[in-house]
Amino acid sequence: MSIVLIVDAACDLPKDFLDKRGIHLLPISIKVDDKIYTDDKDSNRLQAFYRQNLLTLSHEAESAPYSSEEIHQIFMREIVPHVDFGLVQTVSQKRSAIHAHCVEAQRLIQRSCRGLKARGDSNRMFSMRVMNSGTLFTGQGVLAAFTSDLIAANKSRHDILRLAEAFKRKIYGFVIPPDVAYIRDRARKRGETSLSALGAFVAKSFSIKPIIQAKNDETMPIAKVRGFDQAVNRLFAYGINRIKLGLLSPYVVVSIAGDEADLKRFDGFLELKAVAKLHQVELITCVMGLTSGLNVGPGAVSLALAAEDHTFS
């Protein structure tokens, strides 16, 4: 059975990694001042977008995920004719309509496939599963890397689903916004109240930066650090410690909403890179996706890994 993994563009992985692993991408568009920009994971285009400073609060911006019908058409054109089974992994269903759109698209796709078979236009009965990753950004990247390893190892569909479902509960994803007011105001514009706890950080001091954890569909600030650089270095120190203690998969994913080269200005990143190499862990870095950058702000940094249950320290 031929199997393909499909991720949405909120998943932080570089395009060359996706291409090498044969991971199919569902693009996401964002609308900025009535102009549409589509995230296809091309790092040059992403960095060019961030350099234009289009995500500042002076611009009206919103995410525009593909509709169920658009997803249906992509599948019928690009996926259904070529594989037997498609596994879609989406950003947390609590953070986006993408998961709901994919579930609705699944119904349309299956109906179209039955029609093809009834007319004799295809002898393959395509099947698929939509999986809520329960995480965000780099966390999606860790899950996709793990799942693509299972596919490459020729695991059965049943084993891939079982192992990926168990693994996603062990993913620890984090993001640090440079400007807490930005993430609060963007959430308010979306009508979202679940991040209201960030108001406490703003009320105390604009110099205090939260480290926000995303795990099992829950998003919450789990630490506060004075100064953005110090917060990022603390997150990298956490990553270094978890690598030394042992991970559940040999991947750590890091992204930044801007120029990827800016990661090197953090002392902790250079040490993280060295420790990962020493422990044979692949450190995957990329430019943060547009919809992610829209929600957490230009310059934001995200890190994710998979480990046994623990608390951030």
Q: How many domains are contained in the chain?
A: 2
How far apart, in whole angstroms, are the C-alpha atoms of residue 299 and residue 125?
Answer: 45
How far apart, in whole angstroms, are the C-alpha atoms of residue 112 and residue 258?
Answer: 40
147, 168, 189 - which closes a domain: 168
Residues of the chain short of pLDDT 50, as ranges, are 196-197, 200, 202-203
Domain hosting residue 118, numbered range: 3-168
pLDDT digits (tens, 9 = 90+) for 84-127: 999 999 999 998 899 999 999 999 999 999 887 777 666 778 99
pLDDT digits (tens, 9 = 90+) for 151-164: 999 999 999 999 99
Whether residue 145 is found in the same domain as residue 177: no
Strand partners, 90: 132
Contact 258, 264 (CB under 8 A): no
Whether residue 44 is found in the same domain as residue 115: yes
The answer to whether residue 313 is domain-embedded is no
Whether residue 254 is found in the same domain as residue 267: yes
168, 187, 220 - which closes a domain: 168
Whether residue 153 is found in the same domain as residue 185: no
- Global confidence as pTM: 0.93
Q: CATH number of the domain that 216 lies in? A: 3.30.1180.10
How far apart, in whole angstroms, are the C-alpha atoms of residue 9 and residue 271?
Answer: 29
The answer to whether residue 159 is domain-embedded is yes
Whether residue 220 is found in the same domain as residue 160: no
